[in-house]
Amino acid sequence: MSPSAYSFPAPLQKVLSKLPPYPGSVLFVAGLNLALARHLPPDTLRLLDGKKLRIQAKDAGVGFDFIWRDGSFSAARHTGATDLAISASVHDFLLLVQRKEDPDTLFFSRRLIMEGDTELGLLVKNTLDSIDLSVFSPSNLLPARLFGRKAG
């Protein structure tokens, strides 16, 4: 898919770029902890411990700063450099999450940018690639009683 297939609405970008980053980071890590944290291998979590991470949606004008510490992701207010910053457009992040686009393809076409610790970047990429997408299904994220199942 071409990078111009989707263009983030400029008026919405103007509004989002004015918001302070920390509250958004709190919401972002809540989602990470709910959907992702329990699926990450212990060796990966040890390597992530204390690392300053940033995800930035360039076209939306938003970024989320976070860190893995004390058994969960936490919102952070990074001052100075991060250990790893990953940026792309909202559309390209959506394509990645849906596995409709390969991260290597986006990286080599300069649509996905990773800055900082290369080894950490490869760890994050390979870990996310290894996760079964069904873990993000609403029925796996929300309480079983909402789907008529008994909690097990």
* 47 domain residue, yes or no: yes
Domain of residue 42: give its range: 9-147
Q: What is the pLDDT along the chain (152 residues), one digit of tens a residue?
A: 455 568 899 999 999 999 888 999 999 999 999 888 989 999 999 999 999 999 999 999 999 999 999 999 999 987 788 999 999 999 999 898 888 999 999 999 999 999 999 999 999 999 988 888 776 666 666 665 555 656 55
- Cβ contacts of residue 126 below 8 Å, gap of 6+? none
CATH of the domain at 27: 3.30.1050.10
* pTM of the full structure: 0.83
* 133 domain residue, yes or no: yes
Phi, psi of 110 (to 5 degrees): 65, 25
Classified as helix, coil or strand, 5 is: helix
Contact indicator for 103, 125 with CB cutoff of 8 Å: yes
Classified as helix, coil or strand, 53 is: strand
Domain total of the chain: 1
* 4 domain residue, yes or no: no
Q: Based on C-alpha coordinates, what's the Rg of the chain?
A: 16
* 130 domain residue, yes or no: yes
Within 10 A of 66 (CB to CB), how many other CB atoms are there?
23
